[in-house]
Chain A
Amino acid sequence: MTSTGTSSGIATGITTGPGPVAPPLRAKRRRAALRTAAFMSPWLIGFAVFFAYPLLSTVYFSFTKYDGFRPPVFNGLDNWTYVFTDYPLFWPAMRNTLWLVVVMVACRVVFGLGVGLLITKIKTAAGVFRTLFYLPYLAPPVAATLAFVFLLNPGTGPVNTLLEAVGLPAPGWFTDADWSKPALTVLAVWGVGDLMVIFMAALLDVPKEQYEAAELDGAGAWARFRHITLPNISPIILFAVVTGVIQAMQYYTQPLVAGKVAAGVIGGSGQQFEPGYPDKSTLTLPQVVYNVGFQRFDYGTACVVALVLFALSMACTALLMRRRGGLIGAGD
């Protein structure tokens, strides 16, 4: 048999001591490590350039006074103190972001699953309904938001006209601080086509035998859903929740456009606009990052908010991943 370097090395090592053993072993390990690194290099480069470097820069800038024009100057904890104690937009944005994370994500997952279930049960024209429910997801966010602000306009919108016609209260939607986030949630639920498709795939993948066995055992519809459907699709639910939380943390375009249009500020005469109309109720942390960094020229403070957002995303994701046993359910 062919003698391998390792076996000869080991043999040599037994006879002559550990000194000569190490180099061939190390060389092989180094080669293996280099090979691994070479295969991983595209990811490593991407990780370093697009994640590690920006993250380290963000941490560094958060301790500096930096406007993007002049070199950054170290200012200790000034930015951190300012954000948590003096910056008037931070806490409203934090509250709104958490509201959206909890309510909007939950609504999207429940609605996406509900529509998915409904369409998998439909016997006729399922393709038509699938298309109808998926199409809104393809609408550009700005166009979709403009359409919703028009539809929900308290003065001229058809939704309120209809509500008033049937004697129901007509909310102010995007012009009322109590209703602006629910209105954004309605918009998000309208575009739930992405989750619907994922849930449909998961639902169709549940073994039919399990339902048949349960039916023979006398399980009703709710029992089958609770004990067969949910455990089988729970990894998909976890995926939907985790990605939903991350998307909600990055929620920027829709609240900004809705706030601007409802406030009647489209731009043109040099008026400044502070996002969040009405009453900061549509202000989210990403809007704060942009506002303070690029409009107020305070990169340091923007970096602090960005890091808080990052920590919050990590904490939520970690929490969900730790709880995945519970989410994935007893079926596993």
Chain B
Amino acid sequence: MPRTRRLTAAATAVAALSVLATACTGQSGTAASDDPNQEVTLNFWHGWSAPSEAKAIEENIARFEKAHPNIKVKVTGNMTDDKINQALRAGGDKAPDVVSSFTTDSVGKFCNSGAFSDLNPFLRKAGIDKTKVFPKTLLDYTQFNGNQCTLPLLNDAYGLVYNKDAFKAAGITEPPRTWSQFVEVAQKLTKPDGDSYTQVGIMPTYHGYETTPARLAAQWSPKYFDADGKSNLAKDPAFASMLTAQKDLVAKLGGYEKLEKFRNTFGDEWSAEHPFHKGQVVMQIDGEWRASMAKEAGVTFEIGTAPLPVPDDQAADYGKGYLSGTIMGIASGSKKQNAAWELVKYMTTDTEAVVAFANAIHNVPSTLAALESPDLQVTPEFKTFLDIARHPKSSTTPAQADGGTYQLTFQDLAYAVEKGDVADIPAGLAKTGRQIDTDIAKAK
């Protein structure tokens, strides 16, 4: 019996220690008490990996260090969200103080979990009225429930990139403005070849790179959540209209299976083998970077850009589009909050820095001043995306406590619809809405 007791005691001790140790691993936000004028080294992690992008970051950092000689910035690029999250949880001296992420949809999780510091106090202390610095949509996707835990670091606007030579060859003079024109043009540009194609007007399936349901849905100006924060999928007719329109387009261009088989012949999205560069697709739903990437890939055809078409009954809103972008925040576990804020402030609000960075990596600037800056290099193709970013009806997907999980749930439904697996779209939307509500309630 004593031996049993000892074993029990040991097990209890182990369990208690486990609980104690694990209970101590949570981190909470830190008060910003560091002196930003002290000599300090900041760890800055970002996701850019291309040499030209990394160079642009380094140049921006060099300008910052020149303006703040006491702050050194150790830059680590090519960081995925998973790596960043792990480092933020681990904390410590080697963890990042400042982070930028491409995944705008993660903002809700970052804010809700307290992974990033609320920047509102810093903005107030610096006397910055954020509503006068950043476009409203960009502020929407960088905060959650009033917690401005990130700020926009450049912006991505989504529109239509098209092959002008192919348009000319098909006798098309203007890019489509409405959905019915879009369908007509896409059909005209599609060249079937047996059970495949030599060219499609557009790859309409949701795996066609940037053609995600959220980006397409933005053209219908949907409201994802009602006033109570409940999913609006079943109540807002925009979703059913978009799903039906896309499904019809898939059918008109040859059907899901045939299109997916053709999609599997496409090269990598971020390489010179992109199907738009190779002439396999004539129109591509994409961000502002595609035109310059295509030119760098050495395409021989003339490139045009335009806003995405709008539903026929919203023709007056032509010019709008989906907006998202890179975000930047301060790790709540960082002991160098004030110094980190100096870097975030410089990178996200300094007009010269924002313009220089936008020019270098061909992204849309994320401040109102930078959008109007005479130093901004604006090609005709790029101007389209600047106009989309400025359009008052351009929208984004709202931040949520479960990050972008609600979008993935909607996306699952969209995949099933385009395949023809969902006969009753309204019922599918209602079921998906319930799932979204359950997931968000769980995450809160």
Contacts and interface: CB of A to CB of B under 8 A. Distances in A.
A78 B261 CA distance: 42
A272 B261 CA distance: 23
Given A175-B264, A274-B412, A294-B86, A56 B113 contact: no
B142 interface: no
Given A264-B209, A269-B210, A153 B264 contact: yes
Contacts of A277: 207
B212 A271 contact: yes
B207 A263 contact: yes
Interface of A: 48, 52-53, 56-57, 60-61, 66-72, 78, 82, 86, 88, 153-156, 172, 175, 262-272, 274, 277, 279, 294-298, 301
A264 B442 contact: no
Contact of A155 (B14, B101, B265): B265
A155 B193 CA distance: 13
Contacts of B407: 272
Given A69-B115, A267-B80, A274-B412, A155 B262 contact: yes
A254 to B, nearest CB: 18
Contacts of A60: 15, 18-19, 22
Contacts of B326: 270
Interface of B: 14-15, 17-19, 21-28, 80-82, 85-86, 88-89, 101-105, 109, 112-115, 156, 196, 207-210, 212, 257, 260-266, 268-270, 287, 324, 326, 332, 402-405, 407-409, 411-412, 415-416, 435, 438-439, 442-443
A53 B25 CA distance: 14
A277 B206 CA distance: 12
A265 B212 CA distance: 11
B67 to A, nearest CB: 29
Contacts of A61: 22
Contact of B268 (A78, A88, A266): A266
A296 B109 CA distance: 8
B269 A266 contact: yes
A53 B26 contact: no
Contact of B18 (A57, A70, A262, A265): A57
Nearest to B196: A155
B86 A70 contact: no
A255 to B, nearest CB: 17
24 contacts: A53-B18, A57-B18, A60-B15, A66-B26, A68-B89, A70-B26, A70-B27, A70-B28, A70-B114, A86-B439, A155-B196, A155-B263, A264-B208, A264-B209, A264-B263, A265-B207, A267-B80, A269-B102, A270-B103, A270-B105, A279-B415, A279-B416, A296-B109, A297-B443
Contacts of B411: 274
A70 B401 CA distance: 14
A70 B113 contact: yes
Contacts of B402: 296
Contacts of A48: 14
Nearest to A270: B102
A57 to B, nearest CB: 5
Given A52-B14, A153-B264, A155-B261, A272 B408 contact: yes
Contacts of B112: 67
Q: Which of B21, B104, B409, B412 has the most CB of A within 10 A?
A: B412
B287 A269 contact: yes
B109 A297 contact: yes
B101 A270 contact: yes
B269 A268 contact: yes
A50 to B, nearest CB: 13
A32 B363 CA distance: 72
A272 B105 contact: yes
